[in-house]
């Protein structure tokens, strides 16, 4: 294993649950759900829910930086979302274009590093170039890392990693017995990003919906009943308070007596 790969593995390894250093999670991931329901409850078109969702995203990115969160991952567009009506996809792509064009300068000014995970090969060229521009412009920033899961599906990510490992084995560069969970993790989109400490889903739905399935192995899952457009700093702080009440054991025994 290379020195760089070894460093990435160390970075992804969770801290000991007995360290007590969990007041503010290092990595928060959010499934931003409920834009359509928010709009429907107000008799508004779905696109208005998505517009308000972008506003909630701006507030949440700002709040994450203020609270000292190191990594914020957002599930912005899944690989399954392409099955939505063409008009809605067109509106969503338009919002993405405007968000990057209008907000990228502010993100860069505030020292935010943007990372994109997901499949890019089949994206429209202008979208792909915008994503690449966001990453390249902010590559050396050292503040909050904003990970955008776009055209992303966890099963697809795992399958891509498996294909890459299979190719290494077929070419004789790797033996099957060399494949460990740690090595497998280095072939994922998030190879240099620590696993999320907590995953938050809005709208009250109680599932992960093909989001970070490998990385979520020891994440705390918090489901909040509000729709995404109503999510703000107070909601984020409330989710963190819930996270702080939990004891993370990573498969071990609880620290308290009798557990």
Question: Is 33 labeled as catalytic in the residue annotation?
Answer: yes
Q: What is the dihedral of CA 207, 208, 209, 211, to 10 degrees?
A: 180
C-alpha–C-alpha distance, residues 65 and 45, integer Å:
31
Q: Say how many residues make up the chain.
A: 259
Catalytic residue among 33, 189, 195, 197: 33
Q: Which of 80, 97, 69, 65 is nearest to 33 (CA)?
A: 80
Question: Is 230 labeled as catalytic in the residue annotation?
Answer: no
How far apart, in Å, do the first and last CA atoms of the chain sit? 38
- Would you give the distance in Å from CA 159 to the centre of its chain? 18
Catalytic residue among 35, 81, 122, 227: 81
Confirm if 249 and 220 have CB atoms less than 8 A apart: no
**Distances 192 to 19, 69, 164, 187 between C-alpha atoms, Å:** 22, 17, 17, 10
Residues forming the active site: 33, 81
């Amino acid at each position: 294993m290379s020195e760089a790969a070894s460093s990435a593995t160390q970075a992804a390894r969770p801290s000991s649950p007995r360290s007590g250093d969990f007041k503010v999670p290092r990595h928060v991931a959010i499934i931003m759900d409920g834009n359509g329901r928010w709009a429907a409850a107000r008799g508004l078109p779905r696109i208005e829910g998505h517009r308000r969702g972008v506003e909630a995203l701006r507030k949440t990115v700002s709040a994450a930086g203020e609270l000292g969160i190191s990594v914020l991952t957002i599930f912005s567009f899944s690989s399954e979302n392409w099955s939505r009506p063409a008009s809605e996809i067109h509106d969503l792509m338009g919002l993405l274009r405007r968000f990057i064009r209008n907000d990228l300068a502010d993100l860069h000014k505030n020292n935010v590093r943007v990372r994109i995970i997901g499949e890019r090969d089949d994206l429209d060229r202008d979208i792909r170039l915008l994503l690449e521009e966001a990453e390249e412009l902010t590559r050396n920033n050292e503040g909050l890392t904003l990970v955008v899961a776009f055209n992303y599906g966890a099963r697809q990510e795992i399958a891509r990693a498996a294909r890459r490992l299979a190719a290494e084995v077929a070419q004789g560069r790797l033996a099957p017995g060399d494949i460990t969970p740690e090595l497998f993790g280095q072939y994922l989109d998030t190879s240099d990003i620590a696993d999320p400490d907590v995953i938050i889903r809005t709208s009250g739905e109680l599932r992960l919906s093909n989001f970070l399935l490998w990385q979520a192995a020891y994440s705390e899952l918090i489901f909040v009943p509000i729709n995404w457009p109503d999510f703000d700093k107070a909601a984020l702080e409330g989710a963190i308070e819930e996270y702080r009440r939990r004891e993370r054991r990573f498969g071990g025994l609880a620290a308290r007596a009798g557990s």
